[in-house]
Amino acid sequence: MSKSKDLTRRQFIKTGALLGGGLVVACHLPFGRRNAQAAQQGEFAPNAFLRISQDESITVIVNKSEMGQGIYTSLPMLVAEELCCDWKKVRFLPSPVAPEYNHTQFGPIMVTGGSSSVRSEWSRLSLAGAAAREMLITAAAQTWNIAPASCKAENGFVVSPSGAKLSFGKLADKAAMLPVPKDPQLKAGKKNLLGTPAKRLDSPAKINGTAIFGIDVQEPGMLTAVIARPPVFGGKVVSFNADKAKAIPGVRSVVAIEAGVVVAADDFWQAQKARKLLSITWDEGVWSSLSTPAMHEQYARLAETPGLVARTEGDAAAHLDNNPEKIEAVFEMPYLAHAAMEPLNCFVALKKDSGLIRTGSQFQTVDRAAAARVAGLQPEQIVFETTFLGGGFGRRGNPASDFVIEAVQAAKALGRPVKVVYTREDDMKSGYYRPMWYNRVEAAVDKKGFPLAWRHRVVGQSIIAGTAFEPVLVKNGIDHTSVEGASDTPYSIPNLQVELHSTANGVPVLWWRSVGHSHTAFVMESFMDELAHKAGLDPYRYRCALLAKHPRNLKVLQTAAEKAGWGKPLPKGRARGIAVHECFGSYVAQVAEVSLGKSGTVKVHRVVCAVDCGRTVNPDTIKAQMESGIIFGLSAALYGAITFKIGRVEQGNFDSYPLVRMSAAPRIEVHIIDSNEEPGGVGEPGVPPIAPAVANALFALNGARVRTLPMTPERVRSALKKA
Amino acid sequence: MIELKVNGKRMQTVASVDTPLLWVLRDHLKMTGTKYGCGEGLCGACTVLIDGKPERSCITPVGDVRGKSVTTIEGIPEQHPVKQAWLAQEVSQCGYCQPGQIMSAVALLNTSKKPSDADIDRAMSGNLCRCGTYGRIRTAIHVASGRKTARGGKKP
Ligand code: FES
Ligand code: FES
């Protein structure tokens, strides 16, 4: 049985030493000799991705955070395929933070995001497996005194032409003495593991309560703390009185830090009970009058004026300005919370010349560097351990490292190890939201009703502005993540202009599963649907015509339509809507089947999804990610909104920020396109199409066009009146 | 000092009577399988069985559990059909909500041998899953009840 081994870096090195021999392959290409030599001395260098020990166990060190996407299984599969080992012997080990584990494409940082893990590690980990296989084969061939080329590796053994067998475990010591091949060759021919639905290696720990999430970290001498944060973003503590709070048994300390007032106690309950008894005077700062309706007005006014040009083809203005026939629409989407099931938390222990941080992070290098700055240490002096993440969705990869920095401040102020825990309300109210978006779109169509010109003005906050990534990711004032999915649309539109107004209003914003695509797909796919209906054409065929030069988009569209029975009759009161979108290197189409309750409640019964994500690793994980993305996107489509009143966030828990529940969850069918293309991402691409597919289905049902999310019963009823 | 029985073992806690059972389990008894998601009975992450009934431990003061029998995720045997079905259907994603989901499913199957979809909606809609594993949970419950085969097809 494959088992997880949640070792610390320290333990990892120690265990390596204890195990004595064994084979370590460093995968920071080109392979150096250093690690093979280190293994000879019974030492394991921390930049190894693979360890084979004499007990036949294969440990793959995974440099990506497991937040539900199954990466603790997919990456080991890449190694195991090339290694030709026995999959049942494979375990995973979360990697420490070290340069060897940096992203292969995103610069010198360890990061999990952008639906990039499989894509960016495919080659490196395949080569790691291949190199080890070649070394094992050579070790066996030398033992038998025959040519390596005459031997092969399979299922954990090297096999000679005469059928003699040596296991990987038995060969590990000898293989470790060999030079690491400079140019390992990948297996030719059929794959054994890749493309098959392997069981997730992390499942057993997740159903028996032993999987350790950040919130579960327990250390001797540790306090648990909650923080009273300012009621308004940018606020500061002026003064506080903690007399009553300190009277609660178990409360050890109440201290002010930059982020607010820390209440630390022996357990969580005492801390949060005491926090309620604090009296704090705040300087609310400049954002204390923030209000959603006022922001809305500001955005609408901006959308009337030209923005910075993100993309231009032909001359959209010539066809649109002073054109009385043009078709116009406004699409609006609110701020959204990530609302992972595990509220944010972070454990920190500081000593004079070292530190230990345990948390679920998507952004380890950045978080560790920030922690080091606050603690007055060097990053290398901090051991940063990644726990399981109870959901990430982008929230735990914050360039501002907010939840890590405040925990370090707290640990410093308290002088004791501390686990800072957010309540659900803290998690929902303390920011880093998907930005609110206002989109104005205009189109002019040709005689057949196909778009001749299209102008899309996007208004909203940049998630990149003000971060360390701004110099790289914002070009000529355009944050590409604000317009992605619109500025690079595959639809053939001869005159296209996409413009952007980046606003600044103090609300902390961040990437949120599928980033810019989470709003642009709704605009593109809803408006395309409107144009199709205006032209009197079938919205599915209309899209096919406009995507004729994009076979992968076309294929998912056709597959989803066909499997959903597009055009076939449905029971009375039901209708279908379709949407297609490409992002993160993958292509997804979805058909939603909806009905409408009396009060205006949208019910989604069935969703058929087709995905082309290129070559696959674990098809069951791909299906799961599509299911997940659809439910995640549906929560936003139907319920999600973060709003402000006198600077305060109006939502706090799952009563005011509802999520899709079992009773509202549609049946989902996922079809994976057989593809040999480059691998694409799967964590995010399932999200964007669902909102427009549902909105389009609603229109098909009763002519109600909902252009503002979420599709609340009130909005549906008012759209119905206009239908 | 409050005495309670957790997974068949007698345990004691010095926590104040108003402390929710959830925090006694997690912070005092160091059984962290039971999760915190909302603290208000809205998400089901903290579900445990109290005298066999599914309850939200985040809103159950430990004082009310005195002398009662509590079952947590740690007390469900590995071979339990619900856990086995969870593995067969690969339900877990991030996994954070799953202890609570499993406890609700165990409770459902204790009272209803072959629950219908409507029964599942009723029993499971108090358990949120941000990763959207609902479809697999539904199938897993049908499999555990013997209504469906592990492959998801209907039993003849
Ligand atoms: S934590 Fe108890 S119901 Fe959410
Ligand atoms: S598996 Fe992640 S919240 Fe349910």
Q: What is the CATH number of the domain that holds A707?
A: 3.30.365.10
Question: Which of B17, B45, B75 lies at the terminal end of a domain, its last residue?
Answer: B75
Mean pLDDT across A69-77: 97
Domain assignment present for A355 = yes
**Residue A565, burial from CB neighbour count under 10 angstroms (0-12, 13-18, 19+):** middle
Q: Are residues A171 and A232 in the same domain?
A: no
pTM of the model: 0.94
Q: Given an 8 Å threshold on Cβ–Cβ distance, is B27 in contact with A659? A: no
Q: Given an 8 Å threshold on Cβ–Cβ distance, is B38 in contact with A208? A: no
Contact criterion met (CB below 8 Å) for A57 and A2: no
Nearest to A685 by CA among A34, A289, A118: A118
Q: Are residues B104 and B131 in the same domain?
A: yes
Q: Are residues B62 and B104 in the same domain?
A: no
Q: Are residues B52 and B92 in the same domain?
A: no
Q: Are residues A105 and A181 in the same domain?
A: yes
Helix H or strand E encompassing A1: none
Q: Are residues A393 and A438 in the same domain?
A: no
Nearest to A23 by CA among A132, A125, A138: A132
Domain assignment present for A205 = no
Q: What's the pLDDT score for residue A2?
A: 33
User: Is B133 an 8 Å CB contact of chain A?
Assistant: yes
Least CB–CB distance from B124: residue in A199, A211, A662: A662
Mean pLDDT across A486-496: 97
- Determine the residue of chain B that is closest to A210 in CA distance: B33
CA distance A299 to chain B (A): 30
B17 lines ligand 1 (CB under 6 A): no
Q: Are residues A443 and A412 in the same domain?
A: no
Q: What's the pLDDT score for residue A680?
A: 97
List the domain range (segments joined by +) for residue A174.
Answer: 16-195
Q: What's the pLDDT score for residue B153?
A: 61
Domain assignment present for A445 = yes
Domain assignment present for A27 = yes
Q: Are residues A629 and A509 in the same domain?
A: yes
Question: Which of B58, B75, B92 lies at the terminal end of a domain, its last residue?
Answer: B75
User: Is B120 an 8 Å CB contact of chain A?
Assistant: yes
Q: Are residues B52 and B109 in the same domain?
A: no
Q: Are residues A361 and A300 in the same domain?
A: no
Q: What's the total number of domains in chain A? A: 3
How far is Cα of residue A213 from the mean position of the Cα atoms in its chain? 17
Q: Given an 8 Å threshold on Cβ–Cβ distance, is A424 in contact with B135? A: no
pLDDT bucket at A17, cuts 50 / 70 / 90: very low
Q: Are residues B112 and B134 in the same domain?
A: yes
Read off the pLDDT of residues A560-580 as tens digits, 9 standing for 90 and up: 999 999 999 999 999 999 999
Q: What's the pLDDT score for residue A472?
A: 85
Q: Are residues A358 and A482 in the same domain?
A: no
Nearest-angstrom CA–CA distance, A268 and A13: 33
Q: What's the pLDDT score for residue A44?
A: 25
- Ligand 1 atom having least distance to the Cα of B42: 3
Read off the pLDDT of residues B7-41 as tens digits, 9 standing for 90 and up: 999 999 999 999 999 999 999 999 999 999 999 99
3-class state of residue A651 by DSSP: coil
Domain assignment present for A370 = yes
Q: Given an 8 Å threshold on Cβ–Cβ distance, is B30 in contact with A218? A: yes
Q: Are residues A629 and A518 in the same domain?
A: yes
Contact criterion met (CB below 8 Å) for A660 and A634: yes
**In chain B, which residues have their Cβ closer than 8 Å to the Cβ of A659?**
128, 130
List the domain range (segments joined by +) for residue B87.
Answer: 81-153
Nearest-angstrom CA–CA distance, A248 and A276: 11
Is ipTM beyond 0.95?
A: yes
Q: Is the pLDDT of residue B135 over 60?
A: yes
Q: Are residues B70 and B86 in the same domain?
A: no
Nearest-angstrom CA–CA distance, A5 and A26: 20
**In chain B, which residues have their Cβ closer than 8 Å to the Cβ of A205?**
95
pLDDT bucket at A54, cuts 50 / 70 / 90: confident
Quote the ligand 1 centre to B35 CA distance (angstroms): 8
Read off φ and ψ for residue A383, nearest 5 degrees: -85, 120
Mean pLDDT across B114-122: 97
Q: Are residues B40 and B59 in the same domain?
A: yes
Length of chain A: 723
Q: What's the pLDDT score for residue B150?
A: 65
CB pairs under 8 A between A and B: 177
Mean pLDDT across A35-53: 50
Mean pLDDT across A396-407: 97
β-strand A251-257 against A308-313: which pairing, if any? unpaired
Domain assignment present for A529 = yes
Domain assignment present for A582 = yes
Cα distances (angstroms) measured from residue A410 to each of A227, A345, A371: 9, 12, 11
CA distance A213 to chain B (A): 8
Q: What's the total number of domains in chain B? A: 2
Q: What's the pLDDT score for residue B29?
A: 97
Q: Are residues A523 and A599 in the same domain?
A: yes
B95 Cβ contact partners less than 8 Å away, ≥ 6 residues apart? A68, A202, A205, A206, A207, A211, A388, A390
Q: Are residues B8 and B47 in the same domain?
A: yes
pLDDT bucket at B152, cuts 50 / 70 / 90: low
Q: Given an 8 Å threshold on Cβ–Cβ distance, is B92 in contact with A207? A: yes
Domain assignment present for A426 = no
Q: Are residues B41 and B61 in the same domain?
A: yes
Quote the ligand 1 centre to B127 CA distance (angstroms): 9
B68 vs A17, residue with greater confidence: B68
Question: Which of B41, B75, B109 lies at the terminal end of a domain, its last residue?
Answer: B75
Q: Are residues A386 and A312 in the same domain?
A: no
Nearest to A187 by CA among A28, A80, A316, A299: A80
Q: Are residues A93 and A48 in the same domain?
A: yes
Say whether the peptide bond before residue A181 is cis (omega within 30 degrees of 0).
no
Q: What's the pLDDT score for residue A6?
A: 34
For the domain that residue B59 is a member of, what is the CATH number? 3.10.20.30
For the domain that residue B135 is a member of, what is the CATH number? 1.10.150.120
Q: What's the pLDDT score for residue A12?
A: 31
Contact criterion met (CB below 8 Å) for A481 and A515: yes
A595 Cβ contact partners less than 8 Å away, ≥ 6 residues apart? A573, A574, A575, A603, A605, A701
Name residues contacting ligand 2 (CB within 6 A): A 68, 341, 391; B 92-98, 129-131, 133
Q: Which two structure tokens, joined as six digits, stand for A701?
A: 């049902």
B36 lines ligand 1 (CB under 6 A): yes
Q: Is the pLDDT of residue A234 over 80?
A: yes
Read off the pLDDT of residues A414-434 as tens digits, 9 standing for 90 and up: 999 999 999 999 999 999 999
Q: Are residues A296 and A184 in the same domain?
A: no
Kindly report the CA angle at A104 between A100 and A107, in degrees rounded to 5? 90
Question: Which of A421, A445, A467 lies at the terminal end of a domain, its last residue?
Answer: A421
Nearest to A363 by CA among A717, A36, A106: A106
Average pLDDT, chain A: 92
